[in-house]
Structures are given as C-alpha cells and as structure tokens.
Amino acid sequence: MKRLMIHLALILGGLSLTLTLAGCGTLYVSGRVVTTPTLAQNNVPGYTFADCIVLESYSLPDLQIPAGTLLPLHLSWQVTATPTHPYALGIGLRGTNGLLAWNTSTQSISWTSGQLTTEHDLQFPPEMDEGDYGLEVWLYDPDSGARASVNGQETDVVRVAVIHLIPGETPSTPSPPPTSALSQLVIEGTVQSVALSARVIWLSEDVQGVETIALTDGAQIADRQGRLLSLDQIQPGQHVQATGEKLETSLRATQIIVDHDDTPKEATVTPMVTPTIEWQEYSADELQVGFRYPPDWQVSEENKIVYVYSDKTTDNGARYYIYLEEYPAPQMQSVEQVIEDRWGSEIAQNAQIVEVAVGDKTVYETVDIPSAEGALTIFVRGEKRYIAVSLTPYEEQAPNPGQQECERVLLDMAGSIVFER
C-alpha cells in the first residue's frame, strides 16, 4: 500500500501539520508545536522629535529576552530637516512600577535629511528582575542635557515596545577573566568637569594614575540608593566610584556610582567649556570629517588642514589653536607606522604613544610630533586613515589655565569626530 506524504509549510497557531494519505483513502494527521519568530520590523505611530526627526519603525529579533544577553535594536528614522541641536539618543527600560530600571545613551548622531537607520546593541544586566519592561527612547542635547520635545505628546519619552525579560543562564562556576593588556580597576575621585559629547569625566586629581573616566556605550550610572542616573546628572564636585578597565591614564568604565544624598531628577551638568552656549557642528569638505567645537572659536581650512582658533593665549601672548590633518593608512597601519611614514623612523621610535579612552573609542595621544611650539596630538582611527587633532602651542611641564581648558576642548573635539567617507 503506497502512502503519499504531504508536509504543509503552513503554520497554524504554532502547530505544524503533516498529512499522510493512504491508498485506501484514509487521511492521517500528525502535528508538532513550533515557535514562530517575532516579526523583525514593527511600525510605530510616527513620533516626531524636535519637529523634524520622525521615528517610523523599530526592529527586534524577539520580545522575550534572557537577561544578560545581547539584544540588537534597529531604529528607522525619517529626517525632514536638519535639527538645530546635535541630538544624541537615549534608550531605557521602564518597569511596571513606573521606575526606570536601565538606560544607556549614544554620542551625537548626524541627523541629515532623508532616511536613517541607527543600530544599537543592548545588553541588560543578568541580575535584572524577570518581568515586562517598556522599551523607551528619547533625544537630548549632549551639551545641556535638555530633551527634545515630541509632537503631540505630553512627555519627551516615547515607548516603542514592551519586552519580557526572563532569567539568563548563570554559570555554575565563574569563567576565568579574559587575557588582556587591560586591568580591572575600581577607583574613587572627585569630578572636576564632564565632557558630555565625548562621554568623559575629568577628575580633579589623578587616582592610581587615572586622570579621566570614559563611559562605555552600555555603562550604568547610579547613586548610592540604586537610582539610575544619566551622564548629564553628574556635576562637578561630586564624588564618584568607577569600575572598569585601565587604559594608560584613563579608565574605560562600565559602572559609575555617584555619592549624592538627594539627586534631583531634572538635574543637569553644564558643558565642560562653554556652560551657556551650545557647541557648533562643522563639516570639513576636503578632509571629509565632521566635528563639534566651541562657538567662540573660529574655523578655517587650507590645503586639507582644518584650523580651529581659540581666544586663549599663552603667558607670552601666543594664541592657542587646534588643527586637524589626515594621516593615510591604506593597509590599516598602526599609529607608530603612520608616524614613521610621515616623520621617519627616529621620531617614530622615540614617540611615546598613550592610549586614551573616549567613550567607546580608543584614541592615541602623543606630545612627540614635531612642532615649532610643541603640540599635543590625538590620533583618531578611521577607515584606512587617521585624523590627527593637535593643540599648539603646548607646554607639557608648566601648563597655564588657558592651555588646560584647550586640552579639554581637544579631547571633546576628538571624541566628536565623524568620518564622512
């Protein structure tokens, strides 16, 4: 007796059916339960931020997520006009109790007219409680901390989905730490200033060789009472405890604890250099990079070099300025190699290169690039090239207050660089 096997590809209510037709006309039905994946792309009602940035849809692989695992989130935007502020993006999870349980933020996004998709890898702590959480997004000015309004909404936060966290896998024995040149460190210090766009905290004095704290993209900030904070709520003079990997003179932090008995929810921190004036954006046509700079500085371009002039001067009256230039690296050479290509082997061999964390970036700092009046140079790696951002004049041993302020501008500018090719 012959049987005709037919497997239906149609899935009905999570049940996969197999039909077996026997020669006598008898029909046998068997089934198994299968899991249907969540649709990758989901439309939202077209929330409009700042009158010109429209959130159209989001993509998630699933709405049930094991805590501690990586969750890729894609957000699709329609930008109808260039916004007046260089908005950064905040993402958070809000529990059913109405409290924010987790949040993270990005550096400024280049909001140019047209379609735009931003991609974010979210990782929630494995110790988070199981349950439903609202996935929320918002835009904010990285200088002032002010959030963008949402057309037709009473709040400046948009809920795009509700996800369900389930317990993640907990290993029975702890895994050995990965082999790395970086060392885990916990430090405590006092905040001198905060560079919001670079996501860097400057300490009033170095602690165990650490001068700056750079926050990773998923870094958590909280006070001693466990309330989650954002970077714009950290203020100069506050005491912080940071945990992360030491990288030369900086700490790439994954957790910040702030000592503050009563942190106001709407507290903001003033920008590092220009407390009341927003930084400007500049796009260099020949270098094909974008960056941000203080509005009271002047910019000019000449022969593929961008000059940014300060109004600060040395004790001798020389004006401080920062210049940006390209170092080609067609084979993705190291910093030492591109310095040797430009300046020769002797200078490259004697150059002291210090790795510095700026947010999730690692940049390379040196004072050994030849300059008539001394220079502090930061190399930012791009695709097959570096951009060198240099401050001159520069006195390493006895800096005056003007130079120290310009150094912070230099780091903030380097952290804001966006490669346009």
Q: What is the pLDDT of residues 14-47, one digit of tens each?
A: 444 444 444 444 444 444 433 333 445 677 778 9
Whether the link from the prior residue into 294 is cis, omega within 30° of 0, is no
Q: Which residue has the higher pLDDT, 308 or 168?
A: 308
Per-residue confidence (pLDDT) for residue 198, from 0 to 100: 66
Q: Regarding beta strands 64-66 and 158-166, do their DSSP bridges make them parallel or antiparallel, or are they unpaired?
A: parallel
Query: Is residue 385 a contact partner of residue 328, using CB atoms and an 8 Å limit?
Result: yes
Highest mean pLDDT among 40-44, 176-180, 248-252, 386-390: 386-390
Q: What is the DSSP letter of 63?
A: S
Residue 230's pLDDT is: 79
pLDDT band at 306 (very low <50, low <70, confident <90, very high): very high
**Burial group, residue 250, by CB count within 10 angstroms (0-12, 13-18, 19+):** buried
What is the share, in percent, of the chain residues with pLDDT greater than 70? 80
Nearest to 296 by CA among 267, 274, 268, 318: 274
Are 55 and 121 within one domain? yes
| Confidence grade of residue 307 (pLDDT, cut at 50, 70, 90) | very high
Q: Give the mean model confidence (pLDDT) for residues 193-219.
A: 80
Whether the pLDDT of residue 201 is over 80: the answer is: yes
More confident residue, 112 or 217: 112
- Quick one: DSSP state of residue 375? -
Both 72 and 202 in a single domain? no
The pLDDT assigned to 345 comes to 86
Picking from 205, 225, 259, the residue at the C-terminal end of a domain is 259
The two tokens of residue 174 are 């702890």
State residue 127's pLDDT score. Answer: 74
Same domain, 26 and 48: no
Measured torsion, CA atoms of residues 182, 187, 190, 192, in degrees rounded to the nearest 10? 0
Q: Which of 224, 259, 294 is the last residue of a domain?
A: 259
The pLDDT score that the predictor gives to residue 378 is 93
* Omega cis (within 30) before 393: yes
Q: pLDDT tens, 258-301?
A: 886 444 333 333 333 333 347 888 999 889 999 989 888 999 99
Tell me the pTM: 0.45
- Residue 292 CA to residue 214 CA, distance in Å, equals 18
pLDDT at 79: 93
Asked if 96 and 48 sit in the same domain, the reply is: yes
- DSSP letter assigned to residue 152: T
**Residue whose pair of structure tokens reads 């989130």 in the numeric block:** 73
Query: Residue 96 corresponds to which tokens in the numbers above?
Result: 């059913």
- Domain limit, last residue, from 112, 131, 166: 166
* % the chain with pLDDT above 90: 16
| Domain carrying residue 211 | 183-259
Element (H, E) at 348: helix 345-350
In angstroms, the Cα distances linking 25 to 2, 4, 14, 331 are 11, 10, 28, 69
- Are residues 53 and 17 part of one domain? no
